[in-house]
Amino acid sequence: MPSLRCHWSLHSCCGMSRMTVRERWRIYRRLSLMFFLAVVTVTMVQRGNISTGLQFEMERQHPQPEAVSSGARQKRGVYLKANSFWKARKPKQEHTTEPPWTMEARGAQTWDVTSANCTANLNFSGTEWFAGLEPNFKQFLLYRHCRYFPMIMNHPEKCQGEVHLLIVVKSVITQHDRREVIRNTWGKEQEIDGKRIKTLFLLGTSSNEVEKANHQKLLEYEDQIYGDILQWDFMDSFFNLTLKETSFLKWFSTYCSQVRYIFKGDDDVFVNIQNIFEFLGDTGMGNLFVGDVLFKAKPIRKKENKYYIPQALYNKTYYPPYAGGGGFLMDGPLARKLYGASETLDLYPIDDVFLGMCLEVVQVSPIKHNAFKTFGLVKNKSSKLNKEPCFFKSMIVVHKLLPPDLSHMWELVNSDLVCAQKVEIL
């Protein structure tokens, strides 16, 4: 290395013409060797032949390139300018005595489901109440016992080393434009103040044969480029969103022992990562689950509604408290507990309600925070808030923005936008 530096200075002070062919050859040889060593190192790290501990040593010795760190510094600038809005409003949380990194008992170290082998359960198909159900509920009930499916695309390496925030986004094969814009905006993998953010998309397979044939190949290319797609071999349907939830919890419990927080959301929301960081602060909170929480929501009994639930499937008056699936935040250890809880319950066709049921089992109350807007806003399209960047700047999640609007709003919020104060809503 030192002699190389000498050559560069020779180059700069004496000009290219003075550099002999032999010297150039020597530089070339050294660069080739360095490149070769880098490739070998990267390959070994990817194969897991270097322990994570060593990997971290290496990362510490080689700081991020200047471009990245200056970006982070810029972010920090914005971060510092923000007032104490978040800290002040951070809900009081009882501190649990267990340290945040307590490991729950861990099962398999890899995804252990290799065959789908799921046959319809005809146990109750002859009953009267079953015959009276709508076709989608019949299908749901016939396959309700089929919980885990093989993985078509997997990325265990995403959770290697310490990850501060794992962003997971529910998506479907055809919505590649939404994934693209998320990768370029709030889902960008980065490091803020030395805390790593990683992003993954959760997908099933297409229910439509044509789509399956044409899009699956494209999805594989997309995954080769970005390496951020988890795909399970179950049909992506509205009622199967719960499978996506349970599959993710199992996947997380299998691979991600060193993830601090999880943000899980839809692919059509606006998310403000800086505010998430500001909200989380430095304090360790156990059993954190925060979002747009509904308390005492009633099951919808009108058949035309997307969320209609027949009495035969749920006969209580209220749902347990649950957070809108559009976007919520939880800590890693809690996700592992929720995985355990999910295995004790029958699947429920509405994924966010199901997670509320799991929270009830582990006796954790979700926290409602006004910066999570996963319900409602869209109803009043004329509301000025829909176009107001200072509003988005003060939020954590806003439902719902499609790619062009999301890009545009992201640029506005991350420009030199000056807002008098973070807008206080409600």
Ligand X SMILES: *[C@@H]1O[C@H](CO)[C@@H](O)[C@H](O)[C@H]1NC(C)=O
Contact 83, 202 (CB under 8 A): no
Q: Does 391 bind ligand X (CB under 6 A)?
A: no
One DSSP character per residue, 135-152 reads: HHHHHHHHTTT-----EE
- Rounded to the nearest whole angstrom, what is the least distance from the CB of residue 388 to ligand X in the complex? 10
3-class SS of residue 357 = helix
If one asks whether residue 380 binds ligand X (CB under 6 A), the answer comes out as yes
Whole-number minimum distance, CB 115 to ligand X, in Å? Answer: 5
383 binds ligand X (CB under 6 A): yes
Close Cβ partners of 192 (under 8 Å, ≥ 6 residues apart): 72, 75, 76, 79, 273, 274, 277
Pairing of β 195-205 and β 229-235: parallel
- Least CB distance to ligand X at residue 53 (A): 14
Pairwise CA distance, residues 196 & 203, whole Å: 23
Judged by CB under 6 A, the stretch of 154-162, 300-308, 322-330, 376-384 that binds ligand X is 376-384
CA distance 47 to 53: 15
Tokens found for residue 293 = 């929480």
* Residue number with CB closer to ligand X (155 or 260): 155
Of 18, 73, 89, 145, the one binding ligand X (CB under 6 A) is: 145
Closest distance to ligand X from the beta carbon of 289 (Å): 26
For ligand X, the closer CB: 49 or 52: 49
**Nearest-angstrom CA–CA distance, 415 and 409:** 10
**Residue 240 interacts with ligand X (CB under 6 A)?**
yes
Q: Indicate whether 139 belongs to the interface with ligand X (CB under 6 A).
A: yes
Work out the number of other CB atoms within 10 angstroms of the CB of residue 396.
27
Of 148, 207, 206, the C-alpha closest to 347 is 148
Pick from 46, 74, 123, 344: which binds ligand X (CB under 6 A)? 123
Six-digit token string for 331 = 């800590």
Taking the complex as a whole, the smallest distance from the CB of residue 385 to ligand X amounts, in Å, to: 7
Q: Which of 25, 48, 109, 184 binds ligand X (CB under 6 A)?
A: 48
- Residue 329 neighbours by CB distance under 10 Å: 24
Of 5, 22, 47, 296, which lies in the binding site for ligand X, with binding defined by CB under 6 A?
47
Q: 3-class DSSP state for residue 373? A: strand
SS3 335: helix
Q: In the window 305-334, what residues touch ligand X (CB under 6 A)?
A: 315
Stretch that binds ligand X, among 60-68, 154-162, 234-242, 370-378 (CB under 6 A): 234-242
Judged by CB under 6 A, the stretch of 10-18, 42-50, 60-68, 366-374 that binds ligand X is 42-50
Residue 87: CB minimum distance to ligand X, A: 29
Q: How far apart are CA 340 and CA 362, in angstroms?
A: 9
Q: Which of 17, 97, 117, 363 binds ligand X (CB under 6 A)?
A: 117
Piece in contact with ligand X (CB under 6 A), picked from 10-18, 53-61, 111-119, 291-299: 111-119
The CA distance from 354 to 137, in Å, is 16
DSSP class of residue 300? B
Q: Which of 239, 319, 322, 410 binds ligand X (CB under 6 A)?
A: 239
Residue 252 near ligand X by CB under 6 A: no
Q: Is 17 in the site for ligand X (CB under 6 A)?
A: no
Q: Is 237 in the site for ligand X (CB under 6 A)?
A: yes
CB 179 within 8 A of CB 222: yes
Identify each DSSP E strand in 334-376 by its residue range: 367-368, 372-373
Residues near ligand X (CB under 6 A) are 47-49, 115, 117-118, 121, 123, 139-140, 143, 145, 234-235, 237, 239-240, 315, 380, 382-384
